[in-house]
Amino acid sequence: MKKEVLSKEAKAIELDKYKALVIATLDYCLENPSFHIITSDYDSRQHYTNLKVQVEENYVKGRLTRLKQWFRDLTEGFVEAKDSKFNDYLKVRTKSDINILTAYYIRIDKIIDSGKIANDDQFRDINSIVDYLCQTTPVDEDKITVMNILLTDYEERKMNKRGK
């Protein structure tokens, strides 16, 4: 696969974007005590602060690939946890139209389009998105209804398998 070569202007825009995204991610970790780990020889807050300095160095040196990789690595846990609050934080903080949960939403849409939950992982994904949608404004009642039908159908099929 051939690597896309960006123009100077396009690279500068991407560098600005990923610098802002990585810094915002690190700030999110610094601002939330649940991400703080302190042991006799480690303080996560100091680690995050040091990473911010390294982000600046990578930015100045034009290391776009490194900033993109850091962003992927730093946000992996948020994506796995389907942390929409973090995604919302990034949007507000960086003023960018980012959605780290895009792949997750594509999976959800495929399940809905198929009209059937096939396994426990899909069940958890649909259940998780229903919980999230119930807490958002405006509430998407139609989508929640469709997903609740899928959840109920899956639970009934599992119960029938156990009963046989």
Q: Does residue 106 sit in the same domain as residue 90?
A: no
Q: Does residue 106 sit in the same domain as residue 83?
A: no
Q: Is residue 2 part of a domain?
A: no
Q: Is residue 43 part of a domain?
A: yes
Q: Does residue 120 sit in the same domain as residue 82?
A: no
pLDDT for position 4: 65
pLDDT 10s digits, 24-71: 999 999 999 988 999 999 999 999 999 999 999 999 999 999 999 999
Average pLDDT over residues 128-155: 90
Q: Is the pLDDT of residue 1 over 70?
A: no
Average pLDDT over residues 63-84: 87
Looking only at the bridges linking them, the beta strands covering 38-39 and 42-43 are antiparallel
Q: Does residue 24 sit in the same domain as residue 84?
A: yes
pLDDT for position 86: 93
Q: Does residue 87 sit in the same domain as residue 111?
A: no
**Which residues form the domain of 20?**
8-94
Q: Does residue 85 sit in the same domain as residue 144?
A: no
Main-chain dihedrals φ then ψ at residue 38, nearest 5 degrees: -130, 125
**b/e burial code for range 15-40 (CB count within 10 A of at least 16 → b):** bebbbbbbbbbbebbbeeeeeeeeee
Q: Does residue 115 sit in the same domain as residue 83?
A: no
pLDDT for position 99: 87
Among candidate residues 94, 128, 154, the one where a domain is terminated: 94
Number of domains in the chain: 2
- 42, 45, 96, 109, 132 from 129: Cα distances, Å: 36, 31, 23, 11, 5
Among candidate residues 49, 77, 94, the one where a domain is terminated: 94
